[in-house]
């Protein structure tokens, strides 16, 4: 599909006329607020809530429509409780570029005081709550325009703090007085959402702005943007390179490394598909996850994440996950859902409502994911943290594998292993292709060791045996899997030196192995078997090297948030007993 052209409103003078009052109130040579300018007339409609510490603290609620931001001042701020009917005083329209404004309006200027972007994201009218209009901007704007004129407007917001349906209703006593009311849906809460007082762009509070300058971003970056495309059906996940230790460097974000199946979830108006790293359809194995993902209420959504299963102790269990995917009947799967809960943890968004987001920087994609994902008990957002060293220590102390580091400016390179993503664990482990098995002695007679290799320019290179790390159960399972792949031909390019009877197998199994290091002659030193990886395509297995250093980059603008590392680990630890994670 050709790249979409950027367009402006057909009649910019109409938008300019709407901004006359805004312009008359401001001296643009004295205030940092943006002067009126043509707005983009394409893409997703934007909402923004700005916290404004003027003479009286209030929240400015704004909806993009007809090239401007329709605006209401909400003295007490939004509420997630339908019982709260918050006064919203309609004010002058603001220019589209105002949506990303953060800064200090000088004394003696109109609205003097500090302003932060408290929340933002895409929105759609949902009159009668029967549908959404992300794909039809013209119809969406018409519905908003008609709703404002009629004095009753219903919209669905996808923000980091505000999610779900809200009503704006004009009162009878004054045409400028409206009420902002939360509709009853699964995002209702009695807690005071205004207690989340940091900017979703800079991470600052209004009190910080007097001493700290803020870097502006284009307002168009506040919502998912990119080229238009149909929902992609054949994407492969981006992969990370390895590194031994964490590091302190500006321009990186960190996530806990989960121990599960990497999955791309594709959601449209007809069906949900869960595909593994090697492209296998796992949807039938996780019907509960598919059902919850179907509630995302966006025609066209691709999420990257990890399915994690939880054992009897409530901790993540890869073994439990492997058992789960072997189940075939609906009765077995339903019983497993009760006994071994699974959660889809999301950490990237590759497509939203007809927009390809993969070329955008990770910092933008992460912000859009926080907006657009509608969390549910078994569909959750993975926490991201700027303090990688602290998160690494805390993750290991809680029994997790390590962390993933991602450059804020990294694009999503589908199907590629990139140095802009790094997986960092205390020991080296990697995936290898199984090319054979040897006989052992005594109780290990059926299986002594596996012969391992990796692909290099179309040839399978032998790199060693692994005989430790097995228990009776895994010995039996691996032996049975290998027996089904028996072959007379050695699959390795060069036949390795053999010291015991050997059975060759077709190179269709992948084993994850922990090892100390590579020897000078290309063999694994002190390998230990960890598990089979059915989610990894054998043809994708290559030799990988841990990176020695990370290249620092300039700080990118992103939402750093105010979450604590302890909260992240509690989220991951408590899945057995409490399957809801707080977002942000």
pLDDT of residue 569: 44
Q: Does 45 share its domain with 188?
A: yes
Asked which of 222, 251, 273 is the last residue of a domain, the reply is 222
For residue 571, which of 432, 319, 377 has the smallest C-alpha distance? Answer: 377
Same domain as 482, residue 356: no
Residue 233 resides in a domain: no
| Cα 407 from chain centre | 14
Query: Crossing angle of helices 330-339/318-326, nearest 10°?
Result: 160
The predicted pLDDT at position 580 comes to 34
Report if residue 136 sits inside a domain. yes
* 409 and 420 assigned to the same domain: yes
CATH number, domain at 438?
Answer: 2.40.50.140
Which residue in the block uniquely carries the two structure tokens 């005081």?
Answer: 113
Q: Which amino acids are annotated catalytic?
A: 257
DSSP H or E stretch at residue 202:
none
- Domain membership of residue 126 (yes or no) is yes
Q: Confirm whether 553 is domain-assigned.
A: no
Number of domains observed in the structure of the chain: 3
Residues 393 and 250 in one domain: yes
**Together in a domain, 369 and 392:** yes
CB-facing half-sphere around the CA of 387: CA atoms within 13 A: 12
Separation of alpha carbons 63 and 71, rounded Å: 7
Q: Is residue 561 part of a domain?
A: no
For residue 474, the SS3 value is: helix
Kindly state whether residues 345 and 490 are assigned to the same domain.
no
| Of residues 238, 235, 278, the one with CA closest to residue 537 | 278
Of 531, 430, 528, the C-alpha closest to 481 is: 531
Residue 559 pLDDT:
36
The pLDDT value recorded for residue 531 is 93
CA separation for the pair 420, 526 (Å, rounded): 29
Q: Where are the beta strands (DSSP E) in 171-250?
A: 177-182, 239-243
| CATH, residue 303 | 3.30.470.30
Token readout for 450 is: 């596996």
Task: Compute the CA torsion angle 407, 232, 369, 583 (nearest 10 deg).
Answer: -120
Cα–Cα distance measured from residue 262 to residue 252, given in angstroms and rounded to the nearest whole number: 22
pLDDT in the model for residue 131: 66
**Do 177 and 73 form a contact (C-beta atoms < 8 A)?**
no
Rg (the chain; Cα; Å): 27
- Could you identify the residue written with the tokens 């992948």? 510
Below-50 pLDDT ranges, the chain: 1-10, 547-584
Question: Half-sphere exposure (CA, 13 Å, Cβ side) for 418?
Answer: 17
- DSSP SS3 for 572: helix
Residue 353 lies in a domain: yes
Residues 436 and 384 in one domain: no
Q: Using the 3D structure, point to which of 492, 515, 538 is the last residue of a domain.
A: 515
476 and 456 part of one domain: yes
Q: What is the pLDDT of residue 8?
A: 41
Residue 11 φ then ψ, to 5°: -130, 80
- Answer yes or no: is 395 within a domain: yes
| Bridge partner list, 514 | 429, 528
Q: Give the three-class secondary structure for 21.
A: helix
d(CA 315, CA 340): 10
Asked if 199 contacts 217 with a C-beta cutoff of 8 angstroms, the reply is: no
Strand segments (E) across 23-84 = 46-53, 57-65, 68-74
Burial of 348 (0-12, 13-18, 19+ CB in 10 A): buried
For residue 47, give both structure tokens.
């909402």
Identify the pLDDT of residue 11: 55
Q: What is the pLDDT of residue 432?
A: 97
Same structural domain, 85 and 179: yes
CA 348 to chain centre: 3
Structure tokens at 406: 């991602």
198 and 293 share a domain?
A: no
Residue 322 and residue 531: Cα distance in Å, rounded?
Answer: 10
pLDDT confidence of residue 548: 34
The string of DSSP codes covering 317-367 is -HHHHHHHHH--SHHHHHHHHHHS-EEEEEEEEEEETTEE-TTS-HHHHHH
Cα(227)–Cα(210) distance, integer angstroms: 38
Could you tell me if 292 and 169 lie in one domain? no
Taking the C-alpha atoms of 449, 450, 456 and 460 in order, what is their torsion angle to the nearest 10 degrees? 110
Residue 523 lies in a domain: no
**In the 3-class helix/strand/coil scheme, how is 381-442 assigned residue by residue?**
ECCCECCHHHHHHHHHHCCCCCEEEEECCCCCCCCCEEEEEEEECCCEEEEEEEEEEECCCH
Structural domain that includes position 121: 12-222
Measured CA angle at 252 (ends 248, 256), to 5 deg: 90
């Amino acid at each position: 599909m050709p790249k979409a052209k950027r367009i402006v409103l057909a009649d910019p003078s109409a938008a300019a006329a709407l901004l006359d009052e805004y312009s008359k109130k401001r001296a643009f040579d004295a205030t940092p607020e943006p002067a009126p300018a043509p707005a983009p007339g394409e893409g997703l409609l934007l909402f923004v809530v700005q916290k404004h510490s003027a003479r009286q603290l209030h929240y400015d609620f704004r909806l993009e429509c007809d090239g401007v931001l329709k605006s209401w001042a909400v003295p007490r701020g939004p509420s997630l409780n339908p019982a709260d009917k918050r006064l919203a005083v309609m004010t002058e329209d603001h220019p589209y570029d105002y949506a990303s404004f953060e800064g200090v309006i000088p004394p003696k200027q109109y609205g003097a005081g500090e302003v932060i972007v408290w929340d933002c994201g895409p929105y759609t009218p949902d009159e009668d709550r029967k549908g959404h209009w992300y794909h039809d901007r013209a119809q969406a704007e018409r519905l908003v325009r008609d709703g404002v004129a009629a004095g009753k407007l219903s919209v669905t917001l996808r923000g980091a703090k505000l999610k779900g349906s809200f009503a704006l209703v004009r009162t009878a006593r004054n045409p400028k007085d409206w009420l902002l009311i939360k509709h009853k849906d699964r995002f209702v809460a009695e807690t005071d959402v205004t207690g989340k007082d940091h900017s979703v762009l800079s991470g600052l509070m209004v009190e910080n702005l007097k001493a700290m300058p803020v870097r502006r971003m284009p307002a168009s970056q506040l919502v998912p943007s990119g080229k238009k495309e149909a929902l992609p059906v054949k994407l492969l996940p981006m992969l990370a390179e390895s590194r031994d230790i964490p590091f302190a460097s500006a321009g990186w974000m960190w996530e806990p490394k989960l121990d599960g199946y990497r999955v791309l979830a594709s959601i449209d108006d007809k069906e949900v598909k869960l595909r593994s790293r090697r492209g296998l359809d796992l949807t039938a194995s996780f019907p509960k996850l598919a059902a919850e993902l179907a509630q995302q209420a966006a025609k066209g959504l691709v999420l990257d994440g990890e399915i994690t299963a939880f054992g009897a102790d409530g901790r993540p269990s890869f073994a439990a996950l492997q058992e789960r995917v072997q189940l075939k009947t609906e009765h077995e799967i339903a019983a497993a859902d009760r006994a071994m809960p699974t959660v889809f943890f999301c950490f990237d968004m590759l497509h939203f409502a007809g927009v390809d987001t993969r070329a955008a920087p990770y910092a933008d994609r992460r912000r859009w994911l926080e907006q657009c994902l509608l969390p549910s008990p078994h569909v959750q957002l993975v926490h991201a943290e700027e303090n990688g060293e602290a998160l690494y220590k805390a993750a290991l102390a809680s029994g997790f594998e390590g962390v993933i580091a991602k450059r804020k400016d990294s694009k999503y390179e589908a199907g590629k292993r990139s140095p802009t993503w790094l997986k960092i664990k205390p020991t080296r482990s990697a995936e290898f292709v199984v090319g054979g098995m040897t006989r052992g002695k005594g109780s290990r007679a059926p299986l002594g060791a596996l012969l391992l290799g990796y692909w290099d320019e179309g040839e399978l290179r032998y790199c060693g045996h692994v005989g430790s790390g097995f228990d009776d159960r895994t010995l039996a399972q691996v032996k049975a899997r290998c027996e089904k792949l028996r072959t007379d031909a050695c699959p390795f390019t060069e036949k390795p030196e053999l010291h015991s009877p050997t059975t060759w197998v077709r190179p269709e199994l992948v084993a994850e192995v922990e090892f100390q290091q590579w020897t000078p002659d290309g063999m694994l030193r002190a390998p230990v078997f960890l598990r089979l990886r059915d989610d990894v395509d054998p043809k994708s297995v290559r030799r990988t090297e841990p990176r020695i250093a990370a290249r620092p980059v300039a700080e990118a603008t992103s939402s750093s948030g105010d979450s604590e590392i302890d909260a992240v680990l509690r989220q991951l630890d408590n899945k057995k007993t409490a399957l809801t994670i707080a977002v942000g």
